[in-house]
A and B are shown apart, each in its own frame.
Chain A
Amino acid sequence: MAFVLHLLDEAFARIAGGDGALVETALRTLWFASLATLFALLAGLPLALWLADGRTRARRIGLTLANAGLGLPPVVLGVYLALLLLPASPLGGLSWDYRPPAVVLAQTLLALPIVVALSAAALRTLPPGLLEQARAFGASRPQRALLALREARVGLAAAVIATLGSALAEVGAVVIVGGNIRGSTNTLASTVLLDLAASDTPGAIADALVLVALLLLLALVLTLVQQGRTRDATAEGLV
């Protein structure tokens, strides 16, 4: 136990001392994850709105693909994306290899199926007649979209938070396309690997602790959002 306590002690000292590199890494992680989530939302929400009304074959297939995409191993995405970004490849002209934009792109692509699948699921829980009724009252397409987003807001908030959380913790694709370069493309999760490789165990633990703290904060926000919804719902006992 002395070993564990010693490590924790040093890690906390590192966090309390406001280690410059640690703060910088945490901010970079948040920045990458927020950007990726934002881009994924911009592309994913319209897609989810379209897919949620899954009455045509194309929409059902799209929904199936989004659901399947949730399980895509990040390293697979990473390796193909990295290949596309090689100087002599189609996206080579961007010169993004081993640079932050590549990391954000990888994170965005990973976040997209999460946003689409979870948002579509949230939108599908709306009462069946709601949008038809709005349409019967003459609501335009954008008005109906707004109504749907408003009604499903708790589920959508959960989708956003899940997306952020997975972007914060992701390590496979980030390391492959970003190269895990200290001070440029490393995130909290990938810095754990760097620190361990450099035999800086307290540093690795400090990274992990900050990451967990961020995720717990997200979980707390989600719980508060969901409690706002269920506060007045009464639970009737079953037989």
Chain B
Amino acid sequence: MREITFKDALVEAMQEEMKRDDNVLVMGEDVAIYGGAYGATKGLYEQFGEERVRDTAISESAIAGAAIGAAITGMRPIAEIMYIDFITQAMDQLVNQAAKMRYMFGGKTTVPMVLRTEGGAGRCIAAHHSQSLEAWIMHVPGLYLVMPSTPYDAKGLLKASIRDDNPVVFIEHKMLYGMKGEVPEKDYIIPLGVADIKKEGSDVTIVAYSRQLHVAMEAAAELEKDNISAEVIDPRTLKPLDLDTILTSVKKTSKLVIVSEGYKTCNVASEIAMLVTEHGFDLLDAPIKRVCGADVPVPMSPVLEDAAIPNKQNVINAVKEVCQ
């Protein structure tokens, strides 16, 4: 099968959906002529024109709010917030409007929109351009949260997100855009709420998503040398969350390590750990371990930045502790 980059997979997903449905539009900062700060909308402006691919002012709140207004009146907007760090500016619209409108209005409206954004550390761009704020989104009823780790998943999940009638926050890791992988040219959908077992194993379950999935995979490969067989599960969508796949794996391995790049306090991993405790305490032979980002503003200096996020060795150490 052909291999394309993660960002090209995103472009292809939007291209296909824009062809399929005239109501899909793209709006955000630098998404048109520039093609997106990370190139994830490249070519759409040339193909679909300025009516459907709209450069906006640096107005995150208006970008999110206008997407909502368009969504509740018949369009399917894809709004881009250039960095998830800037989502603070759009949080009122996202949390108070997009997430709540359907419920508050008695189920009489839908808000079919995708808010694409980019997150994570790795480029030495410091505390305002490197965060992993997915836990904030996961906390809010009414939003879906998608975080793909491979080009294949990115395309199928973005297409599902665009077609879904709910507001979806779609977070892409900045270090994944250039990553290549097999992506079918055909139209395919990956449903929301279906985890993917990225590697089968029998001794320990590692749950990891987005860029940390790859860190977990490297750790799992190395653990094989020590005869520890790790099963690596990528939830792919954090909301809805495919807890069944995680529990089935824990039933087999009895041990669980969860990896996330977000700040450790109130991390996505904390929620997954609690869900497993509530639904599968008897399956566990050891306490669950979290491997998370440090509770610190992400620093610029490469050595400090590396120290602030999980690495392969952190995951290996955590696995060895639970496997003792």
Chain B associates with chain A: no
